[in-house]
Copies of this chain bind each other. A is one copy, B any other.
Amino acid sequence: MSPADVTDGAVEALHRQIVREAEQGGYRVNPDVPFAKSLVRGLLVNQARYGYISCPCRLAAGRKEADLDIICPCDYRDPDLNEYGACFCALYVSEDIYKGLKKPQSIPERRPPQGTRADGGTTIMEAPTTMTTTKATGFSLKYPVWRCKVCGYLCARDEPPGQCPVCKVGKERFERFI
């Protein structure tokens, strides 16, 4: 399939799937449907080009292993949701933006810069990670572990998610666990 062959029906179907999966997982898709669908069309164009739905707002290398971090949802979505209330493309938004209580703002690129190789490909430079050490455990982890106080769900990320994917309570119901 070539990018020109992306049909309205395919956009419709993927948009519906992304909305359903987002809500099941405690995420929100931009409620501006024509805007969200234009991004979904971009995902399908990339699918036709590269074989995977890489981010429509970023230049892909065209090799899956080099683009793994920008296959949608990208590795940067959740930190951007926490810090800016939207992912880089604004396909995913926070509850506040979803409800119209806040406006999306401009979002700087969080993806680490990539060196250009002789073969024209890209080298992923490892993002500097701060190891997390807690007094309680005495050992180091790459991310802190958060616990939902309602259902006990655990996840490892810089900050808790906007919603617990299991019981759908908000970020303020999480506590640092490790």
Residues of A within 8 A of B (CB): 21, 24-27, 68-69, 71, 73-75, 77-78, 136-143, 145-147, 149-157, 161, 165-169, 172-173, 177-178
**In the assembly, what is the distance between CA of A77 and CA of B169, in Å?**
13
With A156-B177, A168-B25: A150-B68 Cβ-Cβ less than 8 Å: no
CB of A42 to closest CB in B, whole Å: 18
15 A-B contact pairs sorted by A residue (CB < 8 Å): A24-B24, A68-B172, A68-B173, A73-B169, A78-B150, A137-B139, A141-B177, A142-B147, A143-B147, A146-B152, A147-B156, A153-B155, A153-B165, A154-B154, A154-B155
B167-A156 in contact (CB<8A): no
A161-B156 in contact (CB<8A): no
With A140-B136, A177-B141, A178-B141: A149-B25 Cβ-Cβ less than 8 Å: no
Which one of B68, B75, B152, B156 lies within 8 Å of A157 (CB-CB)?
B152
Q: Give the residue name and chain of the B residue nearest to A24 (CB).
A: B24
Which one of B73, B146, B150 lies within 8 Å of A74 (CB-CB)?
B150
**In the assembly, what is the distance between CA of A25 and CA of B24, in Å?**
9
A25-B169 in contact (CB<8A): no
CB of A13 to closest CB in B, whole Å: 14
Q: Which residues of B contact A145 (CB under 8 A)?
A: 154
